[in-house]
């Protein structure tokens, strides 16, 4: 396992901190009263945010679109450009850079001037979302949900062990961590009712996911291999796909989720690159049915990333509801992307692929409230004494994730949303 890479930014050397030199995630920020349109690209290092536009303007980084308020241009440049920028940033921030004889004082001054305390900046959605596709790639989640509605003998659909099931969601309502979420209105029907009603969702849920961010595109009419798909992925974000379970129950047959999922999806502020996660690759689980050749693994393509969900009720201290790991997924993001493109569907820079809910095998590892409360039949108690089956107005839900290295962590930063009442 790779060891901690030390930086002259001392806070980056904290073994429990999310943003060591080994990480260098990418995001978009503003300072003070700057409008969102003034956003520019950044990386996180320790408790600082480093302005990449300033370094680009000073000639310390290649022209990569870092003065733009999204990462899309940089992501479109491909793996060689991503690697070049990462290597240059590592060199500029490494502990040895400050200690070396003849260190360039002018360069050091530029880098130091481009640092901003993380608490003094506003983070924005890191990339323009071209399209959003949500998959259903967690076997434990699929089995649990299927068991609730169809019984354990028929829990998995017949195609589940052969293809990554997914649906096309809404890019327009993908928002950055910290954005409040309005409880959705929708049509629901009680089992004993003659007619549906239009009312606020009563069974509001979350889904703990990882989102894969597509960097380089593919052409319409052309498929990609799993290896090619892996090369197309720029990085990963934490993703909470908010879900209105009562709306979903009424609407999803025969075409799947629609309004129940379209109202909001929250992503983290930082895109953790595939390069930072490379030491944490791990294999997908043993196959229960042999996959067709175009979906077979050629190398480990999941990641050992520890994940958690917490809930805070009305300002109370948060209660950790669940802890799980991204290696519980049955299909990797590369397999999902290869399947998506297999029909000739064109993939674009900024496409976002949600993994689907990541759950473990036991109740303390479930990634949705639907599972944690077992369909609402088994309410759980928060540390402050309140009980919940689903999300109530004023509740704050937070996702966290990190990979654990040798004396360091690769963190994602939080993915947070607070629920507001539905509009009248």
Q: Are 267 and 213 in contact (CB under 8 A)?
A: no
Distances (CA, A) of 10 to 6, 154, 246, 298: 8, 54, 49, 39
141 catalytic, yes or no? yes
Q: Are 335 and 300 in contact (CB under 8 A)?
A: no
Catalytic residue of the set 124, 140, 141, 400: 141
Compute the radius of gyration of the chain from its Cα atoms. 22
Catalytic residues: 141
């Amino acid at each position: 396992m790779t060891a901690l890479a030390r930086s002259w930014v001392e806070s980056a050397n904290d073994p429990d901190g999310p943003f060591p030199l080994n990480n260098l995630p990418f995001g978009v920020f503003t300072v003070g009263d700057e409008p969102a349109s003034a956003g520019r690209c950044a990386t996180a290092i320790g408790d600082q945010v480093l302005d990449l536009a300033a370094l680009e303007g000073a000639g310390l980084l290649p022209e990569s679109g870092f003065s733009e308020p999204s990462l899309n241009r940089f992501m479109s440049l491909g793996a060689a450009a991503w690697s070049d920028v990462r290597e240059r940033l590592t060199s500029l921030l490494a502990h040895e850079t400050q200690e070396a004889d003849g260190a360039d004082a002018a360069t050091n001054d530029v880098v130091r001037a481009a640092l901003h305390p993380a608490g003094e900046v506003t983070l924005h959605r890191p990339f323009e979302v071209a399209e959003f596709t949500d998959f259903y790639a967690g076997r434990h989640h699929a089995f649990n949900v299927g068991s609730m509605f169809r019984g354990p003998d028929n829990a998995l659909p017949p195609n589940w062990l052969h293809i990554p099931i997914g649906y096309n969601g809404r890019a327009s309502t993908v928002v950055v961590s910290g954005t409040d979420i309005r409880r959705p209105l929708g049509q629901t029907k009680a089992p004993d009712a003659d007619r549906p009603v239009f009312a606020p969702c009563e069974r509001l849920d979350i889904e703990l996911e990882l989102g894969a961010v597509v960097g380089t595109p593919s052409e319409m009419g052309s498929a990609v291999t799993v290896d090619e798909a892996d090369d197309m992925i720029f990085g990963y974000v934490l993703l909470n796909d908010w879900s209105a379970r009562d709306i979903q129950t009424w609407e999803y047959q025969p075409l799947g989720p629609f309004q129940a999922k379209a109202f909001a999806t929250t992503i983290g502020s930082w895109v953790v690159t595939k390069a930072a996660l490379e030491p944490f690759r791990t294999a997908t689980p043993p196959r229960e049915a042999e996959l067709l050749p175009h979906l077979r693994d050629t190398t480990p393509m999941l990641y050992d990333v520890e994940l958690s969900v917490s809930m805070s009720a009305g300002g109370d201290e948060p209660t950790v509801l669940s802890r799980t790991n991204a290696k519980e997924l049955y299909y990797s993001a590369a397999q999902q992307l290869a399947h998506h493109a297999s029909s000739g569907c064109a993939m674009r820079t900024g496409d976002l692929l949600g993994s689907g809910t990541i759950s473990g095998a036991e109740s303390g590892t479930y990634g949705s409230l639907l599972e944690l409360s077992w369909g609402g039949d088994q309410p759980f108690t928060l540390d402050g004494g309140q009980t919940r089956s689903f999300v109530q107005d004023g509740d704050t839900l937070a996702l966290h994730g990190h990979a654990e290295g040798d004396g360091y962590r690769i963190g994602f930063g939080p993915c947070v949303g607070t629920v507001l009442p539905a509009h009248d």
